[in-house]
């Protein structure tokens, strides 16, 4: 008997899953109070209770009908209450009531055995543990055996009832477990979507910080330089102002690129841009090793690291020299080292990670790399990425 279409409103997540969300035909999207709580299919399964009326129809006794109808109305009330209430405890009590009605009425009406089948059909949707269903089936089998022993009914009727109670119960147990698994999968997928959206927002926030932090620092630096040159070297001041305009336009393009999914233009290009930025700040860049061949994702991480490091040197270090060096560590990691000879006071602020350094650390750790900052006679930034993450080229 397929009672698996009957379905209560989805409960909040708990240690034990209760009724799956669509057993009574309810729409998961209906979140309003008692809106579309169930559809007409909820009561279609009452058609199986027609077996209750076989004996009254065959006996042609009005008094027998009057004795039996109250029991059916009790069952009907229990069924409707089961559909309407959502508490697991109340539902278990209602199922126990159906079982009791069957126990009391089977000696007088063998059709009341259908109540036993309703109990095993509905129980898997109320209790997740399969042991509860098996216990109910054993209790019903024992009850039927006792009823047959004391009241000497037709043993074939009791055997048929026990057989269908077990078959329907096990079938609906499989259906209920499948629906619960689908509900868990749906919840996991929704959680993954939410986490992915959060990670993407954090990525964009980090990239925007790196892009704007770097370029705006260059704009401020060149604007200050142009201001100092006005009246002394107007031609160079005009050149710096024009450079500010170009840098601002580049920043606008990079922001648009970051919003759509930032990708670096290449580590070599980033190093060349770093050289120009440091030169404008009066810092000499020394880079004696060539950038390694990287995959796109690893190259982006190192490019953004170079950009953030240069921005911090311009803002905080008060340095005159900056060195970059690429190497391979003894344990197979590809390393980037950025060092400057800035003052101790300037480096103290860098040691406290802000959004830029924290974003840099997160990117490196996402690739299984290592990140550290050493402050002393200047600042030394070291990033190490696993060699296996880089092998193979872009």
Q: What is the three-class DSSP state of 126?
A: coil
How would residue 370 be classed by pLDDT, with cut points 50, 70 and 90? very high
Burial, 13: exposed, middle or buried (Cβ in 10 Å; 0-12, 13-18, 19+)? exposed
Report CA-CA distances (Å) from 304 to 7, 262, 266, 310. 53, 10, 10, 10
Residue of 134, 18, 149 whose CA lies nearest to 85: 18
Compute the distance between CA of residue 60 and CA of residue 72 in angstroms, rounded to an integer.
Answer: 17
Q: Give the predicted TM-score (pTM) of the model.
A: 0.46
What is the average pLDDT across 293-300?
81
How would residue 265 be classed by pLDDT, with cut points 50, 70 and 90? low
Domain limits, the chain: 40-194, 265-394
* Among the ranges given (263-277, 289-303, 316-330, 366-380), the one the predictor scored with the smallest mean pLDDT: 263-277
pLDDT in tens, 116-158: 888 988 888 888 888 888 888 888 888 878 877 777 666 777 7
Give the pLDDT confidence score for residue 71 in this predicted structure. Answer: 92
Asked if pLDDT for residue 346 goes beyond 90, the answer is no
Give the pLDDT confidence score for residue 324 in this predicted structure. Answer: 94
Compute the distance between CA of residue 200 and CA of residue 196 in angstroms, rounded to an integer.
Answer: 6
Count of helices and strands (H, E) across the chain: 11, 5
Output the average pLDDT for the chain. 77
Token pair 């860098």 is found at: 350
What is the average pLDDT across 306-313?
86
How many residues make up the chain in this entry?
Answer: 394
SS3 content of the chain, % helix, strand, coil (to 5): 65, 10, 25
Give the pLDDT confidence score for residue 391 in this predicted structure. Answer: 43
pLDDT in tens, 209-222: 766 777 777 788 87
Question: Which uninterrupted H or E stretch holds 321?
Answer: strand 321-328
How would residue 261 be classed by pLDDT, with cut points 50, 70 and 90? very low
Token pair 């749906």 is found at: 186
Question: What is the share, in percent, of the chain residues with pLDDT greater than 70?
Answer: 77
pLDDT in tens, 42-84: 778 888 888 889 888 888 888 999 999 999 999 999 998 888 8
What is the CATH code for 265-394? 3.30.565.10
Q: Which of 11-20, 49-58, 154-163 has the highest mean pLDDT?
A: 49-58
Report CA-CA distances (Å) from 180 to 115, 119, 137, 195, 262. 25, 20, 22, 22, 40
Report CA-CA distances (Å) from 86 to 7, 36, 131, 220. 10, 14, 22, 64
* Among the ranges given (90-94, 234-238, 346-350), the one the predictor scored with the smallest mean pLDDT: 346-350
Report CA-CA distances (Å) from 260 to 21, 167, 255, 297, 367. 38, 56, 9, 15, 22
């Amino acid at each position: 008997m397929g009672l698996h279409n009957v379905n209560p409103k989805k409960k909040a997540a708990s240690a034990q899953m209760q009724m799956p969300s669509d057993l009574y035909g309810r729409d998961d999207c209906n979140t309003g109070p008692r809106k579309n709580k169930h559809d007409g299919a909820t009561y279609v399964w009452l058609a199986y209770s027609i077996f209750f009326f076989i004996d009254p129809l065959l006996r042609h006794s009005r008094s027998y009908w009057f004795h039996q109808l109250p029991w059916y109305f009790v069952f009907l009330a229990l069924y409707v209450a089961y559909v309407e209430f959502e508490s697991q405890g109340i539902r278990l009590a209602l199922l126990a009531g159906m079982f009791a009605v069957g126990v009391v009425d089977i000696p007088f009406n063998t059709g009341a055995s259908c109540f036993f089948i309703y109990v095993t059909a509905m129980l898997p949707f109320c209790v997740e543990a399969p042991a509860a269903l098996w216990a109910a089936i054993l209790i019903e089998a024992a009850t039927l055996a006792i009823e047959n022993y004391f009241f000497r009914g037709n043993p074939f009727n009791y055997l048929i009832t026990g057989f269908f109670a077990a078959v329907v119960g096990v079938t609906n147990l499989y259906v209920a477990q499948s629906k619960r698994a689908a509900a868990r999968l749906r919840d996991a997928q929704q959680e993954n979507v939410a986490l992915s959206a959060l990670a993407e927002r954090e990525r964009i926030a980090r990239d925007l910080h790196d892009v704007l932090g770097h370029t705006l620092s260059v704009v401020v630096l060149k604007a200050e330089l142009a201001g100092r040159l006005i009246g002394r070297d107007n031609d160079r001041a005009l050149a710096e102002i024009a450079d500010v305009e170009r840098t601002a336009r580049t920043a606008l393009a990079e922001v648009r690129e970051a919003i759509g999914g930032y990708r670096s233009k290449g580590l070599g290009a980033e190093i060349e841009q770093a050289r120009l930025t440091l030169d404008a700040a009066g810092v000499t860049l020394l880079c004696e090793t060539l950038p390694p061949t990287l995959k796109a994702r690893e190259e982006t991480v190192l490019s953004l690291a170079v950009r953030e490091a240069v921005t911090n040197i311009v803002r905080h270090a008060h340095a005159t020299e900056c060195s970059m060096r690429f190497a391979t560590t003894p344990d197979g990691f590809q390393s980037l080292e950025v060092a400057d000879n800035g003052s101790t006071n300037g480096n103290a602020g860098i040691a406290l990670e802000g959004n830029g350094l924290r974003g840099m650390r997160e990117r490196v750790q996402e690739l299984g790399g290592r990140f550290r900052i050493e402050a002393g006679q200047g600042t030394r930034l070291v990033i190490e990425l696993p060699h296996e993450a880089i092998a193979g080229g872009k």
